[in-house]
């Protein structure tokens, strides 16, 4: 195995240096540089979540760009001969987040916790007007998109006693083994799915075809008792339409984990130009549904395995063709 020089620019991976370096036993040189202090010309591998054309142009030895997640939308076109790989492991983490969010909304946890924090003991036993919570069992889970994340959400939903329905680009494609799906529709049957679902989970990738997919008309087709949970990309859901639907009671609630802007970008833009924090029927999280230790430890293993494979001349896993 030839030793490679690896530059890691994604700060979160600095918390998994033991995995990446195999507890110091890796033959490769690993540099963790989160301030652009290192000379990029010295490195064969770049581990990152994003890169600029200028950075790539300054790396004449570059052979592999390995992103630290699934998305490669922040990677510009690569020089000839440079490979691109990604990594996953987030399906179970995101699916558990979806179930947690759905249960929080159905049980009205936000209201109960807020009451208790201000010293008010209020529930259906002491207040005849207080709404009951609900369970997942017996409800219909509508999954928009049926890739790894969607299928894992469906498995957990089925284990909780939910009926599973989905729309997908290729409805005739085989379903994951052991998963009972009551109905599989085409993309153009989205509104039919929404109308039949009590919990709708959006898991499709962002593309020209899916941008604004969940618009005002789609939200209007949902039950007023239904909830929407978006773990895909913010722009898949129309920002203003979702706010209006929540404010007017068109739908009962929403879980928003993905947003329309990234506060880490230049200028620190707010995640939304609308104040979703003023709404009491939403669970808001900062794009962290996949942020568990298990996810990033698994990703670190993938990355270091691919670096070893590159050094050995073996095929790499999870290669992406931009």
Mean pLDDT, range 118-129, rounded to an integer: 96
Answer whether 135's CB lies under 8 Å from 317's CB: no
Residues 13, 99 within the same domain: no
Q: What is the pLDDT of residues 192-219, one digit of tens each?
A: 999 999 999 999 999 999 999 999 999 9
- Residue 249 is part of a domain; what is its CATH number? 3.40.50.720
Residue 76 belongs to some domain of the structure: yes
Residues contacting residue 264 through CB under 8 Å, at least 6 positions apart? none
Mean pLDDT, range 226-236, rounded to an integer: 98
Residues 208, 141 within the same domain: yes
Q: What is the pLDDT of residues 244-264, one digit of tens each?
A: 999 999 999 999 999 999 998
Residues 163, 201 within the same domain: yes
Which pLDDT does position 73 carry in this prediction?
A: 86
Which pLDDT does position 322 carry in this prediction?
A: 76
Which pLDDT does position 303 carry in this prediction?
A: 98
Cα distances (Å, whole numbers) of residue 163 to 155, 196, 200: 10, 10, 12
Residues 168, 272 within the same domain: yes
The pair of structure tokens assigned to 30 is 């690993």
Does 233 qualify as catalytic in the annotation? yes
Q: Has residue 266 got a pLDDT over 90? A: no
Q: Has residue 33 got a pLDDT over 90? A: yes
* Cα-Cα-Cα-Cα dihedral sign, residues 102, 175, 321, 91: positive
Catalytic annotation, pick one of 89, 233, 239, 299:
233
Which pLDDT does position 197 carry in this prediction?
A: 98
For 218, phi and psi rounded to 5 degrees? -65, -45
Residue 226 belongs to some domain of the structure: yes
Residues 98, 71 within the same domain: no
Residues 232, 279 within the same domain: yes
Residues 159, 59 within the same domain: no
Residues 200, 231 within the same domain: yes
Residue 317 belongs to some domain of the structure: no
Please tell me the pTM assigned to this model: 0.92
Mean pLDDT, range 141-159, rounded to an integer: 97
φ/ψ region of 24 (left if φ > 0, alpha if ψ in -120 to 50, else beta) reads left
φ/ψ region of 108 (left if φ > 0, alpha if ψ in -120 to 50, else beta) reads left
Helix axes 91-106, 109-117, angle to 10 degrees: 70
User: Can you give the residue range of the structural domain that contains 81?
Assistant: 5-89+293-312
Answer whether 161's CB lies under 8 Å from 141's CB: no
Which pLDDT does position 265 carry in this prediction?
A: 85
Catalytic annotation, pick one of 54, 172, 265, 278:
265
Cα distances (Å, whole numbers) of residue 214 to 23, 152, 196, 245: 46, 21, 15, 11
Catalytic annotation, pick one of 287, 291, 294, 299:
287
Residues 61, 173 within the same domain: no
Does 291 qualify as catalytic in the annotation? no
Residue 201 belongs to some domain of the structure: yes
Residues 246, 147 within the same domain: yes
Residues contacting residue 245 through CB under 8 Å, at least 6 positions apart? 216, 219, 220, 222, 251
Does 287 qualify as catalytic in the annotation? yes
Helix (H, G, I), strand (E, B) or coil at 79: coil
Residues 197, 227 within the same domain: yes
Buried b (16+ CB within 10 A) or exposed e, 28-61: bebbbeeeeebebeebbbbbbbbbeeebbeebee
Residue 47 belongs to some domain of the structure: yes
Residue 234 belongs to some domain of the structure: yes
Which pLDDT does position 16 carry in this prediction?
A: 98
Task: Please give the tally of structural domains in the chain.
Answer: 2
DSSP per position, 134-179: --STTPEEEEE--SHHHHHHHHHHHHTTPEEEEE-S-TTSPPPTT-
Cα 132 to its chain centre, rounded Å, is: 30
Quick one: pLDDT band at residue 271, thresholds 50, 70, 90? very high
Residues facing residue 202 across a β-bridge? 144, 230
Residues facing residue 201 across a β-bridge? 143, 229
Residues 85, 95 within the same domain: no
Which pLDDT does position 149 carry in this prediction?
A: 96
């Amino acid at each position: 195995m030839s030793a490679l020089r690896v530059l890691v620019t994604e700060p979160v991976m600095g918390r998994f240096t033991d995995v990446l370096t195999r507890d110091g036993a890796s033959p490769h040189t690993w540099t963790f540089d989160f301030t652009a202090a290192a000379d990029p010309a010295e490195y064969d591998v770049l581990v990152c979540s994003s890169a600029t054309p200028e950075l790539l142009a300054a790396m004449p030895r570059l052979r592999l760009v390995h992103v630290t997640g699934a998305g490669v939308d922040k990677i510009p076109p690569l020089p000839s001969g440079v490979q691109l790989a990604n990594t996953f492991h987030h399906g179970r983490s995101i699916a558990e987040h979806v179930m947690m969010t759905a249960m929080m909304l159905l049980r009205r946890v936000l209201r109960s916790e807020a009451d208790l924090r201000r010293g008010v003991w209020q529930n259906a036993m002491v207040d005849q007007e207080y709404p009951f919570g609900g369970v997942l069992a017996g409800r219909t889970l509508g999954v928009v998109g049926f890739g790894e994340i969607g299928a894992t959400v469906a498995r957990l939903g089925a284990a909780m006693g939910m009926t599973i329905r989905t729309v997908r680009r290729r409805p005739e494609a085989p379903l994951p083994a052991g998963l009972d799906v009551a109905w599989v529709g085409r993309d153009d049957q989205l509104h039919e799915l929404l109308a039949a679902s009590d919990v709708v989970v959006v898991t499709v990738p962002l593309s020209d075809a899916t941008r604004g997919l969940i618009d005002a008309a789609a939200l209007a087709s949902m039950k007023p008792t239904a909830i929407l949970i978006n773990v895909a990309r913010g722009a898949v859901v129309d920002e203003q339409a979702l706010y209006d639907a929540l404010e007017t009671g068109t739908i009962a609630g929403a879980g928003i984990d993905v947003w329309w802007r990234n506060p880490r970008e230049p200028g620190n833009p707010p995640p939304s130009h609308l104040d979703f924090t003023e709404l009491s029927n939403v669970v808001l999280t900062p794009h962290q549904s996949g942020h568990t230790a298990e996810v990033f430890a698994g990703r670190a293993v993938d990355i270091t395995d691919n670096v070893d494979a590159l050094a050995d001349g073996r095929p790499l896993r999870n290669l992406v063709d931009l």
